[in-house]
Structure 1
Amino acid sequence: MSRFEIVTLVLAPPDLLFDTSLSVETHTSSMAGSSERAVAGVTTGLLTLGDQVTWQARHFGLTWRMTSAITAWERPTYFVDEQLKGPFRHWRHEHHFEPAPDADATVMTDVIDFSAPAGPLGHLVDRLVLRRHMTHLINTRNRHIRTTLEH
């Protein structure tokens, strides 16, 4: 299993950042490079506890679908999305929002735990490609959210 953490400072209050992070439209616009879109479940608006959404995107030249659910939700400090069905053996993404100590800002921390399918081969793909790709996607999403809220 792989795990990584990304910390991003955003000049916005925690409640606004929390809601923006749960917006289907914000997510799809942040992932425009992979043509990601919501194709089933909740496909517009803000996600909340128990909501499910099926995402479709293009990565590595292939079209993928992943159904995830919001499995924990404590506005405005924390939520979790987890894969119910999709390309990973395991996917869990924790989103934490904490007021920054010295600014009118929020520290957003993403903690991602995932496992590639296919046993030892998947572990190799994870080490060589997948972890770097997933880190890039989360950083891209966070830059988009920061740019959206800070302008």
Structure 2
Amino acid sequence: MATIILKTLINAPIERCFDLARSIDLHVQSMQSSGEKAIAGKRDGLIGLHESVTWRAKHFGIPFEMTNKISKMEYPIRFVDEMVKGPFKKLHHQHEFKIMGSQTEMTDVFEFQAPFGLLGRLVEKIFLKNYMLKLIEKRNEVIKFQAEW
């Protein structure tokens, strides 16, 4: 299993950062490079506790579908989304928010496990972890820009 921890400082109130991080519309905007779209479940607005969304995207030229569900939420401190169906063996993404003076610290703890046993672990280490990190960094840039606008 691979783990990515990413901290982003944002010059905006914690509530604004929290809501932007769970915005379906902003997620779609931030993932334009992969053509990601919400195709089932919660398809726009703010996703809430126990709601799910099914995403369709193209990565590495291959179309993927993945359904994620919000399994935990403590407004505006943290929420967790987990894959319930999709290409990974496991995917768990914890979003945490903390007030730091006049800023908000947004922390992503992103854990995932590729399928296919030893081969999957090798793929995680060789390129998948870095690829996922870049996706999260891009998404966080969009959240930060929108929050500070």
Q: Is the aligned partner of 1:68 residue 2:68? A: yes
Aligned-pair identity in percent equals 42
Matches within 5 A, 1:1-150: 1-101=1-101, 104-150=102-148
CA–CA separation in structure 2 for the residues paired with 1:105 and 1:13:
7
Which deviations, in whole Å up to 9, do the C-alpha atoms of 1:56-106 show, x marking residues without a partner? 1110110101000000000000000000000000000000000013xx210
Which deviations, in whole Å up to 9, do the C-alpha atoms of 1:111-143 show, x marking residues without a partner? 011100011111111111100000000000000
For residue 47 of structure 2, give the secondary structure of its aligned residue in structure 1.
coil
Deviant stretches of 4+, over 4 Å: none
CA–CA separation in structure 2 for the residues paired with 1:90 and 1:125:
15
For residue 136 of structure 1, give the secondary structure of its aligned residue in structure 2.
helix
For residue 9 of structure 2, give the secondary structure of its aligned residue in structure 1.
strand
For residue 65 of structure 1, give the secondary structure of its aligned residue in structure 2.
strand
Amino acid at match of 1:121: L
CA–CA separation in structure 1 for the residues paired with 2:43 and 2:37:
8
When normalised by structure 2's length, the TM-score is 0.98
CA–CA separation in structure 1 for the residues paired with 2:54 and 2:85:
9
Unaligned runs of 5+ in 1: none
For residue 138 of structure 1, give the secondary structure of its aligned residue in structure 2.
helix
Which deviations, in whole Å up to 9, do the C-alpha atoms of 1:34-67 show, x marking residues without a partner? 1001000000110000000000111011010100
Amino acid at match of 1:65: E
Unaligned runs of 5+ in 2: none
**What is the total number of aligned residue pairs between the two structures?**
149
Cα RMSD (Å) = 0.6
